[in-house]
Copies of this chain bind each other. A is one copy, B any other.
Amino acid sequence: MRIWIVGAGSWGTAVAALLAKHGHRATLWGRDVEGIRAARENRKYLPGVRLPESVGFGTDPEAALTVVAVPTQHIRATLAPLPLRGPFVSLAKGLEMGTRRRPTEILAELFPGSRAAVLSGPSHAEEVARGLPATLVAAGEEPLAREVQAAFMGPTLRVYTSADVVGVELAGALKNIIAIAAGIGDSLGLGDNAKAALLSRGIVEIARLGVALGAQRPTFFGVSGIGDLITTCYHAGGRNLHVGREVGKGRPLREVLEGMSMVAEGVWTSRAALELAREKGIEMPITEAVVKILHEGKPPRDAVRELMMRDPKAEARDWGA
């Protein structure tokens, strides 16, 4: 299969290598692609991983599948000028600032009539590139989801199909809010019990918003939901976890963000999620606490105390919704 990977960050590069190993004709395209071609290595974003000889570099307008591996905020500007027609598989996790569009919604706007799936799950690029096992969910209409599954699945990558594009995209975007909260908790020294509680209750409130926006609840409790959330909150070096840890130490958000070269999507997503929750009349106490800490200067310990002292509740009261 001819596959064009647009975006040569760490994940796009790892995916190009993986698809080439699976025997596909993979072509990688991105800003620094000539340097990557020369070195046969992406020294900036995926150092130490040699790319197979069969990986091509440049454009491939004839590809049977286009992998979108650019950050959500850059999809529109990057893809609009390219000779693309789909079908697409998006690897992006986020909501577009301003429009609050999901990645596949942006693709549908840019390329009307095209088909787009999303592929998401716990997948740190370095681990996948090193051949360590991982699982992903390919969500989309059939037969596209099964085609993506067939292209990506191999001895070290297990891919499940799903019809819930909305759920998989929202889970990938919203989990970054909980990762920021986890980082704050880490810096406050709240411990393992509290961190597990945060993840469990965090996925419940994210699912609540997701369902109101058209997602299927089970998606949030699967590999691309709680699974991705777990790695995001325990794998050192994540950007959102880092932001939370620094803010949890008492540093102002502006200062933390100025010191980072990459975007921590959760900072912006937390505001968008809270707006959406208010529009839909949905309770998101953890998200609300994150917004207050990040954007309104609330002391993290006060926010934790308030979360613990909310009215006693039944656990699964809104599950049926």
Asked if B218 and A200 make an inter-chain contact with CB atoms under 8 angstroms apart, the answer reads: no
CA distance A308 to B155 in the complex (A): 6
Chain B residues within 8 Å of A190, by CB = 132-133
12 contacts between A and B (CB under 8 A): A121-B193, A122-B193, A146-B312, A153-B312, A155-B308, A158-B308, A160-B313, A161-B315, A200-B223, A204-B222, A221-B226, A230-B230
Please tell me how many copies of the chain the complex holds. Answer: 2
Interface size of A by CB at 8 A reads 65
Instruction: Give chain B nearest CB distance to A15 CB in angstroms.
Output: 14
Asked if A315 and B222 make an inter-chain contact with CB atoms under 8 angstroms apart, the answer reads: yes
Chain A residues with CB under 8 Å of chain B are 121-124, 127-128, 130, 132-135, 137, 146, 149-150, 153, 155-162, 164, 189-197, 199-201, 203-204, 216, 218-219, 221-223, 225-228, 230-231, 234-235, 304-305, 307-310, 312-316, 319
Asked if A194 and B134 make an inter-chain contact with CB atoms under 8 angstroms apart, the answer reads: yes
Instruction: Give chain B nearest CB distance to A242 CB in angstroms.
Output: 15
Asked if A128 and B315 make an inter-chain contact with CB atoms under 8 angstroms apart, the answer reads: no
Asked if B128 and A162 make an inter-chain contact with CB atoms under 8 angstroms apart, the answer reads: no
CA distance A135 to B155 in the complex (A): 39
Asked if A234 and B231 make an inter-chain contact with CB atoms under 8 angstroms apart, the answer reads: no
Assess A127 versus B192: contact at CB under 8 Å? Given A308-B133, A309-B155.
yes
Q: Give the contacting residue for A133; candidates B135, B197, B230; CB below 8 A.
A: B197
Chain B residues within 8 Å of A133, by CB = 190-191, 193-194, 197, 304, 308
Asked if A196 and B304 make an inter-chain contact with CB atoms under 8 angstroms apart, the answer reads: no
Chain B residues within 8 Å of A307, by CB = 158
Q: Give the contacting residue for A314; candidates B162, B235, B308; CB below 8 A.
A: B162
For A126, the closest partner residue in chain B by CB is: B191
Chain B residues within 8 Å of A193, by CB = 121-124, 127-128, 132-135, 231
Chain B residues within 8 Å of A127, by CB = 191-194
Which 5 pairs show the lowest CB-CB distances between chains A and B? A200-B227, A160-B315, A122-B196, A134-B193, A135-B197
Asked if A230 and B194 make an inter-chain contact with CB atoms under 8 angstroms apart, the answer reads: no
Instruction: Give chain B nearest CB distance to A231 CB in angstroms.
Output: 4
For A146, the closest partner residue in chain B by CB is: B312
Q: Give the contacting residue for A219; candidates B121, B235, B316; CB below 8 A.
A: B316
